[in-house]
Homo-oligomer: A and B are copies of this chain.
Amino acid sequence: MKMVDVGGKAKTDRLAVATARVRMQPKTLRAVREGRVEKGDVLAAARLAGVMAAKRTPDLVPLCHPIALSGVEVQVTPVVVGVEVRAEVKTVDRTGVEMEALTAVCAACLTVYDMLKSMDRGMVIEKVQLEHKSGGRSGVWTRASEGQARLKAKRGNR
């Protein structure tokens, strides 16, 4: 078990974007949209929880390096099936910030769930995924569109 040594890597600008969503019942979503949630403002709480969780990533993910994040932005938006979360994390460091972006979206989704669970325990957190990363030796990575992804998955299965 080791946190791999990144001491030899260069400090470069790194960016990661992750997304996820909380699927919920239409009436739950209406309560969010109309601000009728007993515990308070769901979207604001989720955004803040996401930003704060990005900073806690190395406490949660055992082999993650502690990283000096230079910027974190979390968006939480009502969509058709529920609430969508998008986190963008930046650093100038020796290793990437994919885990920070993914942790931020998880925490934001968990916060959405927590604030609404008394109305709708069946909500599902879905599609927690990296959308894009840049910087570092492995360079740019961007998620293929759903169609491309299905093709790729097929090839991978062969």
Contacts and interface: CB of A to CB of B under 8 A. Distances in A.
B70 A99 contact: no
A62 B52 contact: yes
Interface string A3-14: 111110000010
Interface in A90-125: 90-94, 98-99, 102-103, 106-107, 109-111, 113-115, 117-118, 121-125
Assign chain A's interface to a size class: 35 or more
Q: How many copies does the complex hold?
A: 6
Contacts of A109: 128
Nearest to A71: B5
Interface in A62-100: 62-74, 90-94, 98-99
A22 to B, nearest CB: 9
Contacts of A153: 25
Given A2-B40, A39-B2, A40-B2, A144 B122 contact: yes
10 contacts: A2-B72, A3-B69, A6-B70, A52-B52, A61-B110, A66-B69, A102-B110, A106-B110, A106-B125, A106-B128
Given A68-B68, A121-B133, 14 more contacts: A1-B40, A7-B13, A26-B156, A40-B47, A41-B44, A45-B62, A55-B66, A61-B110, A61-B111, A63-B115, A66-B67, A92-B94, A103-B110, A106-B128
